[in-house]
Chain A
Amino acid sequence: MAIGKSVKRIDAVAKVTGRARYTDDFFMPGILLAKYLRSTIAHGRVTKIDTRRAQRLPGVERVFTYKDIPQNKFATAGHPYSLEPEHKDVEDRLLLTRHVRYWGDEIAVVVAENNIVLQEALQLIDVSYEEYEPLVTPEASLTEGAREIHAGSNNIIGESQYAVGENIEKALASADVVLEGRYRTQMCQHCHIENHIAYAYMDDLEHIVVVSSTQIPHIARRIIGEALGLPWGRIRVIKPYIGGGFGAKQDVILEPMVAFLTLKLGGRPVKMDLSREECMIGTRVRHPFDVKMRTGVNKDGTLVALDIDALSNTGAYASHGHSVAGAAGAKSRALYPRAAIKYHARTVYTNIPAAGAMRAYGAPQIMYAVDCIIEEAAQRIGMDPVEFRLKNVARLGDFDPLTGKRFESCGLIECLQRGKALIGWDEKRAARPKKQTGPVRRGLGVACFSYASGTYPVCMEISGARIILNQDGSIHVQVGATEIGQGLDTIVAQMAAETLGVPFDRVHVVSTQDTDVAPFDTGAYASRQAYVASNAVFRAARELKAKILEHAGRVTGILGGELDISNGNIVHGNNPANNVVSLREVALDAYYDKDRGGQLTAEISYKTRTNAPTFGCTFVDLEVDVPLCKVNIKEIFNIHDSGVILHPVMAKGQVHGGVAMGIAAGLYEEMLIDTQTGYIYNNNFLDYKIPTTVDVPDIGCEFVETFEPTSGYGNKALGEPPIVSPPPAIRNAIWDATGVQINELPMTPHTLYKHFKKAGLL
């Protein structure tokens, strides 16, 4: 039995010994390097570009500009192809652009022998621009008469809404108390340590091979085909080990360009390797949100209504565009399913870096606003904030009010109760003085969230698994689901071992994705993979097991379904200790007997048509140094209901990483933009501060295990959720400590100073 055990992570040794190969670790003799010429304005049009001097520089292979590229507009978002026109991603990109839409836009590309020549050549290209006013904020881009960033868009990329329960105005009117608030979140970047990188080559006249650090190899294949106007079957995408993604690599960024370059250069290998500075501005960022909220509550603690109005800033290009704001509303619906909810969202273009998917896909923005106003509602009616949440959050037996689907598992109440006990909520609140006055004040905060286990029913959810019995009785598994550091390969091996009845270490999972041979799956996003892959792996393992037992029956002469597999041996079903024959002997017979058998394999492609809600909460105890405007976290706990925990150590690893990123989004990180020019001030790790070892406290983590019947092994999503609730919990604790509500992120000393000063604390 492998599920639920912290087995040895299967790629850990490869990674600690430095043997794991990432995209940059495959060396090809004569490989060419390519680099973009990026615009030095945020909004405008190239009037003249002269590449002749660059082209003449020895070592330069070719220079391409916006004049030299295919005119197929394509969408970059890592979504499955949609058969529904209203769910199609917005096709607003070309490989290079004449129309500049953000500072750093890609107007030309140089291919050269080495980096030194490349840098020199970029400086030899002369560009003249007609400059337009940079529209950096949604207010600017929505102003009457503002120039359209994309023709015909009105600078609005999408708008949507839903309403559940009673009519929102009636519900608000019926509530004892109505509150309003406005909450803003910032532009962040993923900061995966491996920058975006890809290379391509051709090994015949037809097929393009692209090796890339991507979360979505199968989607990348299609989008490369679309961008280049080539049949998708001529593209092969290979994904080796990848050094983090967090959503920035759920987007097709370099792959179409390197494919185009090798196609133009006679199939020679060409690599693009973004610098950190390029990666920060020229890939994807998190959408900044501006959320207006209204809520109605009754004095008995009943949450009556939530009216959410979100304005999302997607920046220069659509990428995931309005999907992020749409999904954010959908995923938060499960948290308070008995209240009337109206959710409206609008997404706009501006001249800032393009926003895309980032861990939890809009949920951190919306949940921050929701948890802020929920806290205010609890305070207003004089109810303990934990009690208020306990009274109103999702319970087992609730339904998604929009889809009517019943929650098959829900442990949020238990999560809140567990967190309350862990942090010592009641004791600490009872022990401290009513009003704190000193320079250093202590506060407790709570926040909770719901999320989802995939994208269904907006997108289809497909996952493929192929399981092979090798000649020696060992097992090979191929899945289309993509290991990006979260531990997917290990989880898949556990699933296969569990259902087949073989020891975990006999199962090998092919980690490298290769779209020429791997089963189809759309990749690592939406915290979907363990959930949807479980349904494919479980069925494939069950089918292979039946085939093995059928053949074992022929080998042993024991028929009638009496056999089973236990610990890698064929046993009598009623006496597992009695080994009838080894798996190796059955495999050798199946492969090599002259008359019977064959290669025993099973392959399943399975569409999951459910989407289990997942839940959790954060409790934090912190100190605010008022004169220094500094927050010091003393204790923080995240408690999750993610169904059955497949691998406790790796699950905790997801929580630790997500909470650290959440603390950073709450207290430290923001991409700073010059509102006059659209220039990003902090496009590197010296100026954009992601937490170091000394900036993250010890993180407490617990699970409330439930069983989710719609997945293969009872599990639900866990990858993204831990990032969601730390920022609002910290905000609520700062309020508790100081009496000051901070309704914008990040809550840096700079932000706190502004609010403390206004509140008269300083």
Chain B
Amino acid sequence: MNRTIRCTVNGKKKELSVDIRQSLLEVLREELGLISVKQGCAAGECGACTVLIDNVPIDACLYLAVWADGRSIRTVEGESKNDKLSRVQQAFVDEGAVQCGICTPGFVMAATAFVEKHQGQKVTRNEIRRGLAGNLCRCTGYDTIITAVKKSLDEDFFCYDENSGGRRFRPA
């Protein structure tokens, strides 16, 4: 059975006829060609399909497409404007936070939500770790990803490393 939904995807209004059994992941990929939304587990374990729904990071594999009716969805395709990378995207490139890249779009979206929420606040590396614990990466050991997120936050605020007794963290 199909149902029509109206939502905003990366700033553009969309009217979509979706199978009520379809996940948002399937609709974004197959109907709209938003291939950044990756499937890694289809069970909400890995976060590779993270998109922002009304600015909250959500696993699109667990979210039925019909639930998106009336909501605003952001994927990584919408984050760079006029070929200019977003602050978070640029930090991922600059800090070497990209390896195989399959987790990258989901991580960039989760990081974007985190950075928007904590802009201007003093945030520790461990707080960044807790904020991104829903996304798995098997290549990087997360080190450069944490550094990229830190860099995306307001540079005027220090980032403290709790592990080494509150010393100011110095990126490698």
A-B contacts, CB under 8 A, total: 182
Q: Which residues of A contact B82 (CB under 8 A)?
A: none
Is B39 positioned at the interface, with any CB of A under 8 Å from its CB? yes
Is B1 positioned at the interface, with any CB of A under 8 Å from its CB? no
Contact of B45 with A16 in the complex, beta carbons under 8 Å = no
- Knowing A18-B34, A652-B96, A693-B145, the reply to whether A698 touches B138 (Cβ < 8 A) is no
**Complex interface bits, B20-55 against A, C-beta within 8 A gives 1, otherwise 0:** 010000000010011111111111011010000000
Is A697 positioned at the interface, with any CB of B under 8 Å from its CB? yes
Is B58 positioned at the interface, with any CB of A under 8 Å from its CB? no
Q: Given the complex of chains A and B, what is the CA–CA distance between A15 and B76 in angstroms?
A: 10
Q: Which residues of B contact A22 (CB under 8 A)?
A: 35, 38, 102
Contact of B76 with A18 in the complex, beta carbons under 8 Å = yes
Contact of B143 with A698 in the complex, beta carbons under 8 Å = yes
| Residues of chain A from 693 to 726 with CB closer than 8 A to chain B in the complex | 693-694, 696-701
Q: Give the contact-size bracket for chain B.
A: 35 or more
Q: Which residues of A contact B48 (CB under 8 A)?
A: 193
Contact of B143 among A14, A684, A699 (CB under 8 A): A699
| Residues of chain A from 662 to 698 with CB closer than 8 A to chain B in the complex | 684-686, 690-694, 696-698
Q: Given the complex of chains A and B, what is the CA–CA distance between A187 and B77 in angstroms?
A: 38
Q: Smallest Cβ distance from B39 to chain A, in angstroms?
A: 7
Query: Taking CB as reference atom, which chain A residue is nearest B110?
Result: A693
Q: Smallest Cβ distance from B82 to chain A, in angstroms?
A: 12
Q: Smallest Cβ distance from B112 to chain A, in angstroms?
A: 11
Contact of A697 with B163 in the complex, beta carbons under 8 Å = yes
Is A246 positioned at the interface, with any CB of B under 8 Å from its CB? yes
Q: Which residues of B contact A650 (CB under 8 A)?
A: 96
Query: Taking CB as reference atom, which chain A residue is nearest B30?
Result: A27
- Knowing A22-B38, A684-B43, the reply to whether A194 touches B93 (Cβ < 8 A) is no
Q: Give the contact-size bracket for chain A.
A: 35 or more
**Complex interface bits, A20-36 against B, C-beta within 8 A gives 1, otherwise 0:** 11101101000000000
Binds B, one of A84-92, A430-438, A653-661: A653-661
Contact of B89 with A657 in the complex, beta carbons under 8 Å = no
Q: Which residues of A contact B12 (CB under 8 A)?
A: none
Contact of A192 among B34, B100, B146 (CB under 8 A): B100
Q: Which residues of B contact A691 (CB under 8 A)?
A: 142
Binds B, one of A5-13, A447-455, A727-735: A5-13
Q: Given the complex of chains A and B, what is the CA–CA distance between A24 and B98 in angstroms?
A: 19
Query: Taking CB as reference atom, which chain B residue is nearest A647?
Result: B96
Q: Given the complex of chains A and B, what is the CA–CA distance between A700 and B143 in angstroms?
A: 10
Binds B, one of A157-165, A481-489, A603-611: A481-489
Query: Taking CB as reference atom, which chain A residue is nearest B88?
Result: A16
Q: Given the complex of chains A and B, what is the CA–CA distance between A243 and B35 in angstroms?
A: 13
Residues of chain B touching chain A, judged by Cβ–Cβ distance below 8 Å, are 21, 30, 33-43, 45-46, 48, 75-77, 79-80, 85, 89, 92-93, 95-96, 98-105, 108, 125-126, 128-130, 132-146, 161, 163-164, 172
Residues of chain A touching chain B, judged by Cβ–Cβ distance below 8 Å, are 6, 8-9, 11-22, 24-25, 27, 116, 190-195, 241-244, 246, 275-276, 484-487, 634-635, 649-650, 652-653, 656-661, 684-686, 690-694, 696-701
Which 9 pairs between the two chains have the least Cβ-Cβ distance? A18-B36, A485-B100, A243-B102, A660-B141, A15-B101, A685-B45, A656-B141, A649-B96, A25-B35
13 sampled A-B residue pairs with Cβ under 8 A: A9-B96, A15-B98, A16-B85, A17-B76, A25-B35, A193-B102, A244-B100, A485-B102, A653-B96, A656-B144, A661-B138, A693-B133, A700-B172
